[in-house]
Structure 1
Amino acid sequence: MSGLVTLAVLVIHYLGILQPFELVAYDHTLRSRPAETIDQRILVVEVTQADLNASGGYPLSDGILARVIERLQEFEPAVIGVDMHRYRPRGSGRQALLEQFHQHPNLLSVCAFNQLEQDYGPPPELSDQQQIDQIGFSNFLLDTPFQLPLLARSSARSDAVSAKPASSAEAGTVRRQLVSYAPNLASAQSACSTPYSLSLQLAYRFLEQAGIQPLAVNDQGDWQLGAVALPPLTNRFGGYQTLDGNSAQLMVNYRAAQPGQAVSLQQALNGQVRADQVRDRLVLIGYTAPIARDRVETPYGEMAGVWVHAHMVSQLLGAVLDQRPLIGGLPQWRGLLWGDGVWIFAGALGGGASSWLNSRQTRRRWAWVVRLALALAIVSWGLFYLGLIALVQGLWLPLIPALLSGLLTGGLLAFQRAQKLHSQV
């Protein structure tokens, strides 16, 4: 019985029918992890609505952006990332902003690929080399809610990239991180030609400042930061069954807390930021004001795009410097989900054992039903906490297939027993 149920559930899992439900369960498990400390290496300068009101409105002018960068550079940060698109001048002060890029190689900004609008390109005044060294793409991978893979278009696959960095929290949920891509493979030609994400660029610069020569391609063809390999997600990974298996993607191992310290733009401009908050730190500057519409949905709720970038770069730094685990999946062999099969079979065994043991305890039907329900609830609770413990250690155990196999096996055995008792009456 357990084997048949396992096979049936594994087929359903393989077809991707359970994917939307598994992603919801994954989010819940992620939020259930114990709290972590703030990443002290990261400082986020938030451009709030109050900052915009005090600075002439949205968008923030080039001149004011140049001023805050100049103030921060006085404290010798390791690297500064500006999560704002500056293809065209914004207000006055364009030359002052460009001088900051020319004078400080540790200053990075963003562009967005798959986007025909020029506003999402890099500053055209930067040289070709600067557009590679000082620009990272800001695109996020979005999971559309409850879109069944069997009915979805190609956008349900890993190609579901937000062309704009974070235009609407309704577009989808950010669970994955695109580390790099080949510009010639983009579905739409754009001025954004950098192959590296903002998070990878920032992590590389920070680790370089720390004396680590980090970025390389290992023998498997995967990116490697220091001693840590970044194996890309396979096309079937955890609860996903529709990824392309070729892109350099990672799961975002969100910190169960804010991934860095926060100050406002006005605090930075008015000298209310201490030198020790900035020196040798990784600094991100970005909008949190609602008018910027730079927000996306995450497993932890709606979040400003600059904070999502902070989580992503914190993940890379934590993996290299703190041995904080990246999120991996169960083993496979040539696309055969044997690891998932073992896990699903374990769920079926748990449900079957509960039903069988319960059937030996009592012949009274009402007591038997109550005991069975309690037993299956305990098995479900146990599977959830096994998944939680595994996720804390960096392993995603698909919860829904294991729960389904346990409940189906227990329920079918219970039905067989009920039929047997009925025939004996």
Structure 2
Amino acid sequence: MYSRLKYFKNSNKKVFLASINIVFLITALRFLGLLQPLEWMAYDLLFLLRPSEPKEGRIVIVAWDEADIEKFQEGSISDSKLAHILEKIKAQKPRIIGLDLFRNVPVLSKSLSKEQNERAYQKLQEIFRSTPNLVGIAKVTPPQIQAPQTLKEETRITSADLLKDGDETIRRAYIHPLEDGKGEPAGIISIGVISAIKYLSFEGFEVGEERNQALTLTRQQSPEKNEGSGNFESQSNSHIRGVARFPRSSRSSKITLRPLKRFDGSYVKKEEGTKILINWRKGNSPFFQVTVSEVLAGSIPANTFKDKIVLIGNTSTSSSDKHHLPINRWTLPSTTNGVETHAQIASSIVSAALDDRPAIETIPEWSEFLILLLMVTAIALIAIKYREKHTLKLFLITTSIAMSLCCCLAIFALVAFFSQGYWIPIVPSLLGATTTPIAICFIVYNDKIEQNNQDLKQLIKDLNHSLQNSLRPIVEGGNIALDVSSNLKKADNLTETIARYEEELGEHPLSAIQENLEIILLSAGELNRQRENSQEYFKIAYLGQSVFSKKLTAFNQLVNKTVQEITYIKQHQYNLTIQIQEYYDPQIKDVPIDSQSFQRVLENLIDNAYYAIHKKTQTRPEHQGIIKITTHKKKEPSRN
């Protein structure tokens, strides 16, 4: 087993090194943040693949739209109309009213006099004071916008800040946009989060903190007996942190918001504030909306706002409060109003607690590395398995299919996990799955070139040897014939000279010359055959063909045929009758081999044997040489 492992390691060392380098290179790219844009795109695509969801029935948006602007000829809703709207909403007893409008200065109505506008402003401030479940907004990150002074005094101020990623898309929500000098949450909570907390307080959830300073919402009593906490300050001043993690059972008894740390998901930068990922509700119109005109006209049902989260905001097409969300990246319209964005944040938390609709969680960094490692290893092992058994073209097809299957499996798993609320950054794994076969194909191609170079060197060596073997009898036979003919020509007594040569050679000199000429002709034929074989060089050099073309061949039959052909030629060439002993292992069947190259090698071996025996018989005429031809199947290393 050790020998097999050693062979496996040595033969695939380049593949393993390439795979390891790919894993560490992609990991470095991931932690440097260079894969963030691709990860964001993949994350948004997951929302695109989701089916549409039903409307969120617990949230109602009161919209100041383009029709209202045209009707009232006011760019922003005036204090007078806002006061009337709040009175009508308050009368239906909503759980919380979120005013997603900056009201740090009075907003006058063109249709009212100065005195009427002043009275409207004072009336609005009085409504602010007398509505304990009303919250206003401020912008606490630069550029800052102050909150209404009245709501500020009542400590009913929330943050309207929205966190955009580098591509101007909102994927996360602030809990606290600010931190103190120690990195602890500071300042006010976002309007979407506080709306969810207030709503859940009516369902029996109370705010608490864990030892790790994460915020918890725990159900203390049944919702039928709970009237909701009226103490807004105690809720809004709690230290709330990052990633929402919710139990998977319906109507959860506890919700925990944990910090979204550096390197969670695809994020690598340390940013101020505490944040959570939002499970965006997909749909053409995910929330019920009524217009300001409809509320003022009293044309809405009497229970429209009862026990609801009511958010008031600007939804007009001329408003600049529009944002890109993952759910509308590839849809029209491509932006979402700010008030609807805050509604999405509130819905994400509320539905997780009451509907078993999971919040988005990230997986640990080590698990991302493990997934990447498994993906690259799987592709590498598949490539190793098929690299020796197939041609380069078939190998490319096989690895491409394997890569596609692995990618499809990874995407399917990603979608399945995402439906359960787990975000698995998939780009590193997909990048590993695509670059690994490319790298391995490059290695295989390189090895093929190196092998061809080695084969070419061997081919040249064999051809050189064959040419030497063919030239040797020509030179020797020519010298003998030249020597005999020259001496006969110079001889004074031709008869005596012929007799002397006949005694030395054991035959008539002319017969010796004839035999050597026959040898020269045979060798010339060999040279011509070598010339034909040399055409392979031109195929390699000019046509780019492989040096050796391996095909499944009956090995024993090939050896036997080659031996018969070569020994017939060599017997006449060396004038030797040598015993040939052949044994062929019956276990050997078809073998992938280049027949022509193998025949050249076998020819050289047999020629060397004939030449050695020929030299021996010149000093020891009684020597009887034997050539043994044996084939046997190589034993594989033990698997034990």
- Give the TM-score taking structure 2 as reference length: 0.56
Q: 1:400 aligns with which of 422, 427, 434?
A: 427
Contact 2:136 2:151 in 1 (8 A): no
Aligned partner of 2:166 in structure 1 is 144
Partners in 2 of 1:115 and 1:269 — Cα distance? 35
1:89-108 maps to which residues of 2 (within 5 A)? 89-91=106-108, 92=117, 93-108=120-135
* Residues 1:121 and 2:146 aligned together: yes
Aligned partner of 1:16 in structure 2 is 33
- Report % sequence identity: 24
Secondary structure of 2:158's counterpart equals strand
Contact 2:170 2:326 in 1 (8 A): yes
Partners in 1 of 2:47 and 2:387 — Cα distance? 36
Q: CA deviation at 1:5?
A: 2.1
Partners in 2 of 1:287 and 1:327 — Cα distance? 28
1:172-191 maps to which residues of 2 (within 5 A)? 172-182=168-178
Tell me: CA distance 1:327–1:264, structure 2 relative to 1, closer, same or farther (3 Å): same
Question: Which is helix-richer, 1 or 2?
Answer: 2
Contact 2:97 2:310 in 1 (8 A): yes
Superposition RMSD in Å: 2.2
CA offsets 1:112-154 (integer angstroms, 9 cap, x no match): 012455xx211113453x1x2x211000111122xxxxxxxxx
Partners in 2 of 1:4 and 1:115 — Cα distance? 43
* Residues 1:254 and 2:271 aligned together: no
Partners in 1 of 2:307 and 2:282 — Cα distance? 24
Tell me: CA distance 1:218–1:367, structure 2 relative to 1, closer, same or farther (3 Å): same
Tell me: CA distance 1:43–1:360, structure 2 relative to 1, closer, same or farther (3 Å): farther
Contact 1:47 1:289 in 2 (8 A): yes
Secondary structure of 1:69's counterpart equals helix
Partners in 1 of 2:286 and 2:187 — Cα distance? 25
Contact 1:253 1:326 in 2 (8 A): yes
Partners in 1 of 2:80 and 2:379 — Cα distance? 64
Q: CA deviation at 1:354?
A: 4.5
Tell me: CA distance 1:282–1:358, structure 2 relative to 1, closer, same or farther (3 Å): farther
Q: 1:55 aligns with which of 64, 69, 72?
A: 72
Tell me: CA distance 1:290–1:357, structure 2 relative to 1, closer, same or farther (3 Å): farther
Q: CA deviation at 1:372?
A: 3.1
Q: CA deviation at 1:183?
A: 6.6
Aligned partner of 1:203 in structure 2 is 196
**Which protein, 1 or 2, shows the higher relative CO under an 8 Å CA cutoff with sep ≥ 6?**
1
Q: CA deviation at 1:238?
A: 1.1
Q: CA deviation at 1:55?
A: 2.0
Aligned partner of 2:413 in structure 1 is 386
Give 1 or 2 for the bigger CA radius of gyration.
2
Aligned partner of 1:220 in structure 2 is 212
Contact 1:354 1:410 in 2 (8 A): no
Tell me: CA distance 1:185–1:109, structure 2 relative to 1, closer, same or farther (3 Å): farther
Aligned partner of 1:316 in structure 2 is 349
Aligned partner of 2:301 in structure 1 is 274
Tell me: CA distance 1:342–1:313, structure 2 relative to 1, closer, same or farther (3 Å): same
CA offsets 1:38-88 (integer angstroms, 9 cap, x no match): 221111112111111112321110111111121122221111111100000
Q: CA deviation at 1:194?
A: 4.6
Secondary structure of 1:242's counterpart equals coil
CA offsets 1:185-217 (integer angstroms, 9 cap, x no match): 69xxxxxx952111122112111223322x221
Ranges in structure 1 where 5+ consecutive residues have no aligned partner: 146-171, 187-192, 332-336
Partners in 2 of 1:127 and 1:15 — Cα distance? 42
**What code does the residue aligned with 1:13 have?**
R
Secondary structure of 2:362's counterpart equals coil
Tell me: CA distance 1:136–1:414, structure 2 relative to 1, closer, same or farther (3 Å): same
- Give the TM-score taking structure 1 as reference length: 0.83
**What code does the residue aligned with 2:211 have?**
D
Contact 1:62 1:97 in 2 (8 A): yes
Contact 2:26 2:432 in 1 (8 A): yes
Q: CA deviation at 1:283?
A: 0.9
